[in-house]
Structure 1
Amino acid sequence: MKSIKLNDQAQIPALGFGTWQMRGDECVRAVLTALEVGYRHIDTADVYGNHKDVAKAIKESGLAREELFITTKIPWDLLRAPDVLENFNRYLDELDMSYVDLFLVHWPNKQIPILDTLGAMNQLKQEGKVKAVGVSNFTSHHLQDALTTGHKITLNQVELHPTFNQLELQVFCKARNITMTAYSPLGRGEDLAHPAILELAKKYGVSPAQVILNWIISRGIVAIPKSANPQRIEDNYKSVSWEMEKIDIEKVNNISQQPRILNRPNSEFDY
């Protein structure tokens, strides 16, 4: 599996498995299938309510903890330092782990100083409970505020897909050595039917989903598709087994853009 080096030297698998809106047996089966197919990067979050399900799947897989890369996130209303520390220990209990590889702020919150949040997260890193600290759903101005604290931001996980390609944000992040992860990489499925994607799928003899995921990874961005369908889980995994020509990467880059799909109150997205 191709990996990307974070700015703190940690390695993150370029293709991960998302678990949003998955709970219970469905989540356990999906994560277990993903691990059996070859995924080693699992993305979860407090608000998903599936930490215990992810833990169960990992246990059933028989894989060693050291073989995996686990990401979780703390929600926007629990970003005060005491809340970060208290809830993270709960996450470890739910995941049945002694550490996570990547800990993210799930959404920015202008009501809580980011300095306090990042300070607590880095305390957890110093204690060995977190390997890397990052954020999610941060625009350039959120990142600028966070960087003024002096704390290192390793990664920013954002909505990113062909019709919302985040090219400008990538330029900003790359200049500051911040890796990006793409959630909703298939645009909730809507981007799969775009004529340019279908054309490339035919050219390479792969699925439209593979075209999109390969395009994301070719840009040096981590992709975390989600699916409960075993065939789709396996098909998505195959997106790392071939290379897209640069001219075709540009073709996808040039697809007409649409508004973001996912919004949250108080996020102050700049459009």
Structure 2
Amino acid sequence: MNLPRSLTDTVTLNNGVEMPWFGLGVWKVKGNAVEESVTAAIRHGYRSIDTAKIYGNEEGVGRGIRDAGVPREELFITTKVWNEDQGYDKTLNAIDESLARLGLDYVDLYLIHWPGKDKYVDTWRALEKIQQDGKARAIGVCNFKIHHLEELLRRSDTVPAVNQVEYHPRLTQPDLLAYCQDKGIQLEAWSPLMQGEILDEPIIKKIAEQHGKSPAQVVLRWDLQNGVVTIPKSVKESRIQSNADIFDFELFPDEMKQINELNQDRRVGPDPDELLF
């Protein structure tokens, strides 16, 4: 793998679409804050913005995009279909509603937010049509375990371009990462900093000191060196800038190994096998 060297470097998804390695997540960011953070991120070089219907801020993301004044084709915008909208017809309606809130003609990536119990195959059929209709350049899933992906691939010829999952040093999911790499599915990390909890880990703090970097920068760099796209959330402009300052250093193999070994299979979000609907 060629390591990304700048904020605008991309990975080629399995359908040929180029996706930035690094972006801004906006979970729980509300009101003017989401508009301001999106605009600040884009002005500081970010090109990937990740939102979702359930975040309740697609309108603010759209305003932030327009305020930044960067041509639409230079941006990579992700949103997601929420659980209550799963199913073929509901999903086709959900994308139109999301596009209207965003003020966009298309998104670059449309994801199934959670697998749930028994609707995700029909939902995936809708995503295939959404891509065919040009409303999404790429389609994928979130929070899918290996057994979910196997069921989807058994029922469809379209391989998800992305699987966005909880991924951080306490939840490294090596089997899932290897499976996705084998199938050509790009793994993407949500909650890469474990909602800040991982930043007090002594091993990470020591590695950060050795590189003259912050613990957050070390963890985000670890993501990229593991071949995982990452989208940390921040509303502070200074943090948005510092999070992206990870392209001028490289973690050594022994440091990567030390961080990998912090895994405890511990989640801060729901287990996809338990969030059934």
**TM-score bracket, shorter-length normalisation:** over 0.9
Conservation of the 8 A alpha-carbon contact between 1:77 and 1:109: no
> Which residue, 143, 146, 157 being the options, matches 1:140?
146
The amino acid across from 2:209 in the alignment is: K
Please report the RMSD computed on the Cα atoms of aligned residues, expressed in angstroms.
Answer: 1.4
Alignment of 1:145-184 (within 5 A): 145-150=151-156, 151-184=158-191
Match of 2:65 among 24, 47, 58: 58
| Equivalent residues of 2:223, 2:230 under 8 A apart | yes
Question: Residue 235 of structure 1 corresponds to which residue in structure 2?
Answer: 242
Residue segments in structure 2 that go unaligned for 5+ positions in a row: 1-7
> How high is the TM-score relative to the length of structure 1?
0.95
* Corresponding residue SS for 2:262: coil
Of residues 240-249 and 4-13 in structure 1, the stretch that sits farther from structure 2 once superposed is 240-249
In structure 1, runs of 5+ residues without a counterpart are none
Change (3 A) 1:251 1:269: farther
| Structure 1 residue identity aligned to 2:137 | K
Task: Note if contact 1:139-1:269 (Cα within 8 Å) is conserved in structure 2.
Answer: no
Q: 1:269 to 1:138 in 2, by over 3 A?
A: farther
TM-score, normalization by structure 2: 0.93
Matched-pair contact (CA < 8 Å) for 2:144–2:165: yes
| Structure-2 change in CA distance of 1:258 and 1:124 (3 Å) | closer
Partner of 1:109: 116
- The letter for the 2-side match of 1:142 is H
Could you list the structure 1 runs, at least 4 aligned residues long, displaced by more than 3 angstroms after superposition. none
Instruction: Determine the structure 1 residue equivalent to 2:3.
Output: none
SS across alignment from 1:15: coil
Contact kept, 8 Å, 2:77 with 2:107, in 1: the verdict is yes
| Residue deviations 1:62-106 (CA, integer Å, cap 9, x gap) | 011001000000012211111011111111111111110000000
1:256 Cα deviation (Å)? 4.0
Q: Once the two structures are aligned, what percentage of the paired residues are identical?
A: 37
- Map of 1:268 onto structure 2: 273
Mapped partners of 2:109, 2:265: distance in 1: 30
- Number of matched residues? 267
1:200 pairs with 2:211: no
How many Å separate the matches in 2 of 1:219 and 1:10? Answer: 20
